[in-house]
Chain A
Amino acid sequence: MKNLRVSSSPHLTARTNTTRIMLDVLIALSPAVIAMVLLYGFYPLFLTVLSVASAVFCEWVFNVITKREQTVRDLSAVVTGVILALNLPPVVPFYVPIVGAAFAIIIVKMLFGGIGRNFANPAITARIFLMLAWTGVMTKFVLPVDLSDGANLFAYFKQGVEINLPDAITTATPLQSVKEALSSGGNPAEGLNALDMFLGRIGGSAGEVSTLAVLIGGIYLAVRRVIDIKIPVLYIGSTALFTAIFFADTGYVGEYVWTYLLGGGLMFGAFFMATDYATSPKTPVAVVIYGLGLGFLTVIIRKFGTMNEGVSFAILLMNIVTPLLEKIKRKPFGTPRKSVKEVAESVKAKFSRKHAAAEEGGESVG
């Protein structure tokens, strides 16, 4: 009799918990972290450590000060820290990830009630905050190091403290050259190599450049069923679709599509940031609108905006409308299907009623 438990539903429980899910996300992020070290040396790893330390410390201190239950052990702050660091350019001053992680944890997450109650993805909001705060720092990207000389792994430590990077080591990101091609009307893929972009041998944010590493992690998450695979698939697919539509008249549709898919943080955003549980919708209709909206906004911002990258703003905006999308109701199972005639009649009745009310009611408020 001791083994009998009396409780209310749900009666079927799985052994997954927050810590396990966050551990899965960390495992999925590890290929991107390894790719980051292979591409840019140890300096971005140092930034990642700082970011994680700042995130965990802020959450711990906040919980201590406000006398809430300690939530550091669920590893969500660690995930936020890692994702934020992977979103930063490889070489930024050391205080940038510290301030960013503190912003993500304290302002976006803890002030709104902690894990599961944040209105937007903390890492992406912090990235946008940093982008607006230190625009010069956040838009300077460096070239990958040459790994044939092992000492290069420790490159960039000297430059890391400077607020202005020397021009010699900075480079344009693929999306910057695409943007220039867009304004000049040239071929966007000029000087870009699809294999380099797939592997990450380009300038860009530390953890986002290697599409391969991100895809490995994303597929791991999808197989483990940690994320809803529909969201990244819809996001990437709709980005391709809307790129094809918006650039149909340029004559380089194919080039625009593959540079947009491989460039910037699209893959990383789709797999790791758009799928945040607290800020992505769950119902099927809402998920479809969410994915299409993400792709639409990304392409709109990339084509018409002043920035080269639109993923972070697209995700933030769709995060904000997620509660509204969740309100879209499905018809209950078994609702009789109305014929076209009936629908037309009900609409007609509605309009005629309104009309009548407007005619007779002198003081009715429209």
Chain B
Amino acid sequence: MKKSAMPQELRMNMRGKSKIVGGGILASNPVFRLVLGMCPTLAISTSAFNGLGMGIAATVVLVCSNALVSLLRKVIPDKVRIPAYVLIIATFVTLVEMLLRKFVPALYDALGIYLPLIVVNCIILARAEAFASTNKVGDSVLDGLGMGLGFTLALLLLGVIREFLGSGTFFVGSFGEAEFGVTLGNLPDYAMSVFVMPAGGFLTLGLVMAAINAISDKTAAKRDAKHAEEGKVIDEMVREHVEAELASAGADAPSADAVRVGDGKEEEK
């Protein structure tokens, strides 16, 4: 039993915490699973750099607002909670906006109206309402981190695809003085500009979502098959056990009863 120095309780706790973060990234990814925050997703994921910037900005706001909402969850009256949340979120959005404007003006211009609109981003509002208002501060911060990372990764994925197909470049952007990014030969001449248009945004999002659903359906089917297999083995063991018990209880016990007991067990499953 000396697998780990950590006590069992703490280990379980760690697993629970990592589940909060991991859930936001995969199982309940805000873009591909909860389909929240579609407006910035479709408008900003025209390039990988913009997507990353938007994702990070939203993550910062999400973590901070989740923390504050969680801290104030017992103070905020129920009837005015939405205005209170919006006020909290708006505070952090203003902070992020000022910081971006000072340090990454190119990104500030690219994000445009969608930066102030983080205030009404439904991911942030939804997490404040659904998670932060009923959970402890630590968990709320982790949830904000997970959701923010999921949002960032989704925007980054869409941005890379759309930028490559629509502009023929890879991760072009500028941070302060430094400019980076790869332009692949004369590929921009052949780029399909539809992918940086709104139509291409919907198209890319739909296709990526379909692919993710197909993959997760497949893994779920595999898991179900595995569980069914295990269930069958357990049923078989139970049946054998019951038969053996009956046989030992009385030699004259009719075998039909044993079968019926086994059937009953299977039906219960």
Contacts and interface: CB of A to CB of B under 8 A. Distances in A.
A163 B190 contact: yes
B27 interface: no
Interface stretch (B69-77, B193-201, B261-269): B193-201
Contacts of A163: 189-190
Interface stretch (A129-137, A258-266, A290-298): A129-137
Contact of B210 (A99, A111, A134, A135): A111
Interface string B198-212: 011001000100100
A133 B189 contact: no
A132 B197 contact: yes
A133 B210 contact: no
Contacts of A133: 192-195
Interface in B182-228: 189-190, 192-195, 197, 199-200, 203, 207, 210
B189 A132 contact: no
A134 B191 CA distance: 8
A132 B207 CA distance: 18
Contacts of A134: 192-193
B90 to A, nearest CB: 30
B72 to A, nearest CB: 32
A129 B166 CA distance: 12
A135 B189 contact: no
Contacts of A111: 210
Contacts of A107: 203, 207
A44 B118 CA distance: 50
Contacts of B200: 132
Nearest to A132: B194
B189 to A, nearest CB: 6
Interface in A120-176: 129, 132-135, 163
B194 A129 contact: yes
Interface string A79-104: 00000000000000000000100000
Contacts of B199: 132
Given A129-B194, A132-B193, A163-B189, 16 more contacts: A99-B192, A107-B203, A107-B207, A111-B210, A132-B194, A132-B197, A132-B199, A132-B200, A133-B192, A133-B193, A133-B194, A133-B195, A134-B192, A134-B193, A135-B193, A163-B190
19 contacts: A99-B192, A107-B203, A107-B207, A111-B210, A129-B194, A132-B193, A132-B194, A132-B197, A132-B199, A132-B200, A133-B192, A133-B193, A133-B194, A133-B195, A134-B192, A134-B193, A135-B193, A163-B189, A163-B190
Interface of B: 189-190, 192-195, 197, 199-200, 203, 207, 210
Interface of A: 99, 107, 111, 129, 132-135, 163
